[in-house]
Each structure stands twice: as C-alpha cells, then as structure tokens.
Amino acid sequence: MERRTIILVGYGWASYGFLQYIDHSKYKVRVISKCDRFVYTPFLAKNINNNQNLEIPIRTQFPDLDFQLSEITNIDIQHKRVVTNNGQTHEGDILILAHGAQVNTFNIPGVQEYAHFLKTNQDAISIKDKIRRLEKNSVIVVIGCGFTGTELVGSLIDYDRFRVVAVDGLPRPLPMFDESLSKKAMQLWKENRVQMYFQNFVTKIDAKHIHLKNESISIPYDFAIWCGGIKIHPLSEQINRQTHQTESRGIPTNRFLDIIDAPTNCYAMGDCAFTGNPPTAQVAYQQGIHLAHSLNHDKRSEFVFKNNGQIGYIGKGQSVYQGNYFKGGGRLIGLVNNAIHIYHFCMLFKPIHCTL
C-alpha cells in the first residue's frame, strides 16, 4: 500500500513530538522548515550561566527524514500546497502547520534596535558573551517576567555582580502560578537587591534609558533583554485570510486540531495554533504526539491537555513548582527541577530511524 504524504511545516516542540510517534511505515513525512535543529527551550534561560549545547540537528535526530531547509513564503490551504523562498512547490495528502509564533514587541519604539531576545540557543550564547564583558555593577534589565523572564532574572542574580532590574506590566512575575509562589520569587529577588517595576509598561527604549508609562520613571541601563511574549506569525495570518477567520492570536482549530473552515486533513499545532491552551512547550509536545496517534490509528480523537505541572527557576538554586496536587518552592524544588530537565533532555534526544 502506497504511503500517504504529510507536509509538516516547522520544526519545534509540536513537530518533534509528532515525528517521534508517527508511523513512518504508513506515512511519508516531508518536513519543511527554516530551522534545521531542535532547541531544548526549558534550559535556555539557565544556559546563560552554562556552556551546554541545547541544539540537536534534525539530521542527527531523524537521519532518514525527508527534510527541506527552506522558508515558506506561501501556503495554499485548499490544495495543501506550500511554496518556498527558492521557488519550490510541495504538495501532500495531509498538511500540518507547526511554524510557531513571533516575538511580540508591541511596536514599542527601540525594542528591536536596543533589546536582545531569547528564543534560540544562539540568543543564549550572545547574551552570555555580552554579560560576561560587562563591568561589575552594570545594570541589566529584564522586560517581561513570565516563565522565560523569571528564569533569566534568577540566572542573572546568580552572577552576584550585576544590578538586575525586572519590569512587567502585570502586578507580579509568573502570573500563571499561584500568587504565593510569585511572592516567593519576589521575596528572593528583594533579598538579592533586584529592582522591581511591576504594573509598569515600557513605552520606549533608547540607547541609554528604558522609559516606562509612568513618565517620572526612566531606567538607565547597560543591557536589556526583552521577554515580552509572542504574537501571530505572518503565515498564520495568511491562513486566517484564506479561511476567513479574524482570530488575532493564531490559527483557530477545533478540539481535533483541525483548522477551522479548512479542507479535511489540514491541521495546526503548537504556538501557531489557537486552541484555547497556553502556548507552552508542554502543550505543543502533547499536541504533536496526539495528532501522530490519531493518524496512526485513523481515528479522530479530541486533544485534551494533561497538565504535568510547571516548574521554574527563580535564582540561588531555588525553583517554584505548581501541579494539580502540590505547589511549593525552595532549594529542594530547585534540585528536582534540574533532575527533571536533565532526564527529559537525555530521553528526548535519541536518534529515530524512519522507514523509507
């Protein structure tokens, strides 16, 4: 029986989970992505203190995979067809979109020019090289204190040589956690002389100052890192125009990960999709595995996110954890945090041979 062709756009957490579990003897999967390596993102922020290589090239992980290193310039959802920047056209029986999202700068003047981003392993290396050249007591400002921003603040105070500033428009860091855990992080930061500006939105960044909405506040800085969240990808906007959707957060899908108002066998997963679930690596990875099982068994089933808990580093060897039945923080949680991610990092990166 001839294998059906799957066109998979993008290579991140969702695609990684999908490729691990899809039956390659049943489907011919062609991955098209402008990135040819998977990054273990939970280690990114802490890697500014380490020298660990968090990238695994797709050719190492899936040595037999049909992979095209290209940027998608156009998608024809009706015909499950994609066009790349080198003029090639790829068409399949099944189209799966997993191209992610973009950094959201909210069009704030100066963010692109003066702030650094943390999305890739190269970003972590660049940030690490920069801060190691900074003089003692230099001011480093982290803007955005969600998961990545909080772990960055924690990693920076471990240097014990910088003046760290945390800025966020929300009332507290880690807003997805219980308030008691946010307060634990803030107390630790206070003890380590972190200057905090919460409920303060950035309005402009110039070469020397970060300006907040409160006009009386202007923060002089030596280095700024932007962790302000994500926004919809241009390819997702293109799909929404074709399906006449107005959702501004991503490609709307139903509970089966079908793209709404698209032809059959068109799916979206990960950060490019709007599914009602948080845009986290845990969600994306589970979506990839779920869709692979559904296709393997030719059986549609609803995706239900199984929250395995969230754990984040806050500094000085301490982490906070929140699950369905327990929440807490401290050094013991910090040790557990390291153990969990080392285990998952090692387990994820085992070469998988595809049947051709």
Strand residue runs (E) in 10-135:
27-33, 37-39, 55-57, 66-69, 72-76, 81-84, 89-91, 94-97, 102-103, 116-117
pTM tops 0.75, yes or no: yes
**Rounded distance between C-alpha atoms, residue 231 and residue 144, angstroms:** 14
Beta sheet of 218-220, edge-to-edge order:
202-205, 209-212, 218-220
Q: Does the pLDDT of residue 148 top 80, yes or no?
A: yes
The pLDDT score that the predictor gives to residue 352 is 60
**Rounded distance between C-alpha atoms, residue 121 and residue 199, angstroms:** 30
User: If pLDDT is split at 50, 70 and 90, which confidence band does 350 have?
Assistant: low
Q: Does the pLDDT of residue 116 top 70, yes or no?
A: yes
Closest C-alpha among 225, 306, 334, 232 to residue 273: 232
Q: What is the mean pLDDT of the chain?
A: 94
User: If pLDDT is split at 50, 70 and 90, which confidence band does 353 have?
Assistant: low
- Phi/psi region, residue 229 (left: phi>0; alpha: psi -120 to 50; beta: rest), is left
**Rounded distance between C-alpha atoms, residue 118 and residue 129, angstroms:** 13
Once rounded to an integer, what is the mean pLDDT over residues 4-28? 96
Closest C-alpha among 42, 20, 39, 13 to residue 339: 42
Enumerate domains of the chain plus CATH numbers.
Answer: 4-34+70-101+232-306 (3.50.50.60), 111-226 (3.50.50.60)
The pLDDT score that the predictor gives to residue 351 is 60
Q: Does the pLDDT of residue 133 top 90, yes or no?
A: yes
pLDDT digits (tens, 9 = 90+) for 196-222: 999 999 999 999 999 999 878 999 999
User: If pLDDT is split at 50, 70 and 90, which confidence band does 349 have?
Assistant: low
pLDDT digits (tens, 9 = 90+) for 312-346: 999 999 999 999 899 999 999 999 999 988 888 77
Once rounded to an integer, what is the mean pLDDT over residues 240-268? 98
Amino acid identity of 207? Answer: A
The pLDDT score that the predictor gives to residue 63 is 87
